[in-house]
Amino acid sequence: MPLVGNLGRAAGRLLRGSGCGCGIPAAPVRCIGVSPRQVASDAANFHSVTFSESDHPRVLITGGLGQLGVGLAKLLRKRFGKNNVILSDIRKPADNVFYSGPFIFADILDYKNLREIVVNNRITWLFHYSALLSAVGEANVPLARAVNITGLHNVLDIAAEHNLRLFVPSTIGAFGPTSPRDPTPDLCIQRPRTIYGVSKVHAELMGEYYHYRYGLDFRCLRYPGIISADSQPGGGTTDYAVQIFHDAIKTGKFKCNLKPDTRLPMMYLDDCLKATLEVMEAPAESLTMRTYNISAMSFTPEELAQEVHKYIPELQVTYNVDQVRQAIADSWPMNFDDSNARRDWGWKHDYDLPELVTTMFSYLGSDSRIAQAN
């Protein structure tokens, strides 16, 4: 269902550009006396193409060069065809990413450009991964507010206007110190104390509001800490669980920035991507809520180090606690209750802690240090 206020803003931006050039969208302008459906039709006519709809969605991934986007694009391209999945970001991709399938520049703070991308490429599914993570967001709150909230508003309006199926990830960081922590249910008090967490609660509620108010097909998963072998840590509080593998192989020494007994829910990347695709493909009538917890395992830095020691016995682990990250972790869930996801759309994880560590070293473990240990 088109949005009158948003379509007015879109028409205003088409007339005057996207703002002052500072990266923050200009103030909205209302179009008086203009039919919202006419505005949408006129915008679409800039790139009118006669085509027959295929059975596959046309997918756009924003923030695609982060930890999850490249892997998601690879999975979706196998499923729907390479040319049906467009990866986007504001950074230059590596050659292997650029040549693996369609890639375009997309700034989520540039409403006009993002809208043109959706229209010109006949997008039907949008995965919105653009965000500043927890620790990075605390270091630059104004930027986190712009990217995580203003960018979200642009995506919501465009998705509602063009009847997209929209996925926005949420996080364990959407909960706070007053939330039940062990386990944390889908519905409970949420009072996060980071701009990242606040912005994700905002995204959950706005998505649910747009679903009930405008019929937007909004779907959201609260991710635990995600661990993958083919990406570097990106500034999140749970990134120690990725860093330990790289440091173990390179130097045999690891400094953990969380206390050894800090328990947090975690998940291997393949499980995360599988869950994301499954919830997007789930029949709408099977979904009893718009935002679900998902989980696979829960462990502490000490427990993870014990498993890593099986591969690199000489690994030296020390604890140099970062008080900012520790305070964030202490306010987050220790375990997720994801029973609703398992009941509604059949969520089931594949990787527990031993399988996780084995898989990580199978990707990273060509180093002679591991070969000797084995």
**How far is Cα 120 from Cα 115, in angstroms, rounded to an integer?**
9
267's CB contacts (< 8 A; 6+ apart) are 223, 224, 225, 226, 227, 294, 295, 296, 297, 349, 351
How is residue 19 annotated by DSSP? Answer: B
Angle, alpha carbons 272-275-280 (nearest 5°): 130
Tell me the pairing of strands 59-62 and 125-128. Answer: parallel
Angle of CA points 271, 80, 214, to nearest 5°: 80
Q: Which of 99, 111, 129, 196 is catalytic?
A: 196
* Cβ(264)–Cβ(332) below 8 Å: yes
CA distance 209 to 284: 16
Please state whether the peptide bond connecting residue 183 to the residue before it is cis, i.e. omega within 30 degrees of 0: yes
What is the distance in angstroms between the CA of the first residue and the CA of the last residue of the chain? 59
Respond yes or no: is residue 214 known to be catalytic: no
DSSP-derived letter for residue 45 is G
Residues with catalytic annotation?
196
